[in-house]
Structure formats: structure tokens, C-alpha cells
Structure 1
Amino acid sequence: MKTIAVHFSLHLPAKVKRRRKWFVASCPILDVCSQGDTEEQARKNLSEALTLFFISCHERGTLDAVLRESGFTSFHPSDFSVKAKVIPESEYINVPIPFYVNLNGPRQRCHA
């Protein structure tokens, strides 16, 4: 079996707040949260939680519905600067989404 690894990376807004002895990190647009002993650990844990969230949605076949229900809409990249609200880079988190692709297995043709 010939398999290759494919990695997507998402760049999502995140907030971190201190709650007593914990740091709580959240991605408000997807309503996903995590925590840690430090701000760095909370952000790392949030990235991992978001990775698992996206993998779970993909495996269940609900990713499209979840994104639509969360207010996501697609647009052409040339429209990005016109409509996008700018927030500081420090308020984003990178979320890796890893996949394996079986090159020998049956695949459906793309109907895009």
C-alpha cells in the first residue's frame, strides 16, 4: 500500500484569559476551549483540541454543516482585504490537520 502524508494548516482567531490558577484558551468562532498551567500551554492545548475537532467533523461527515452553522462562508482570495476585519497576529493560533492518502485504494472522481 502506497500512502502519503498531507497536512493542512488553519490559522484561527484565539483568545486566552487567566482564570485563577489556569489559563483558558478559546476559539470563539467554533466554540472550542482548552486550558493550561501557562498561556503557552493553554494555546498548545487549544491547537490540539481544534485539530481533534476538525478530524472528528471530517470523520463524521459533518464538517461542511459545522462550518456553515458557525457562520463560515467562502469567498475568492482577491476579496479578502476588502471584507476582512483585521485583528492582531498574536490573537491567532495555527491548527495542523494531518491526513494520510492511500494512493492504491479506490477513489471517487472529483465532481467539483
Structure 2
Amino acid sequence: MSNPEKTPQAQADADRRDDSDANKYRRSIFDVQVMLTVSIGQARLSVSDILELRPESVVPLTSRIDDPVELAIDNKIIARGELVETEDGSLGVKITELEEQASDALG
């Protein structure tokens, strides 16, 4: 009976359970905090437009309210999603798509 190959996710899970000193060091990276940026759109403004901004000014963006948003770490897009309201009334992002390169890098 042949041994089926492990999926990348199964291998990653097995690696996380490995109790060796080398793996403990490797796993320590999971606690590193990174800044996740959610991009909802862009606007191109002149300096004079920026200087005219006041409270309650509206800056139109290039995207619509129901367009997908992009999630990025260090300006590298890792996923896309849609804006949602959380149970406590704050804004959240429901992931709808993972970038292929990000998935490969994560295992």
C-alpha cells in the first residue's frame, strides 16, 4: 500500500506540532505582529484641493461601496475581501480570495 503525499497544509500542521528546539525557534515567528492594511480606494487630489479640505468634506474614491477591498502587508497584496459590519458595529473585512503567492508562502 503506497503512502499518500501530504498536502501542503497537512505538512504545515505537522511542522507546527514538531517539538524540536529548531522548530520552537521557527514557530516563534507566528507571534510577530505585522501591520495589515486594507485599501478601499484611491483619490488623486491637487495640493490646493488638499489645503481646502475641512471637516465634513467628502473625498470621492475610485471604487464603489460594494467593490472588493485589498488586504496588504508591506504593500504586498495577500487577499481580497468585502467590507462587513461586525457584531459590535465596527467595520470588518470578510475574506473572499487569497492571493496565490501569499498562499504558497504561507504553506
Q: Compute the TM-score of the two structures, normalised by the length of structure 1.
A: 0.30
Quick check: which has more Rg, 1 or 2? 2
Q: Compute the TM-score of the two structures, normalised by the length of structure 2.
A: 0.31
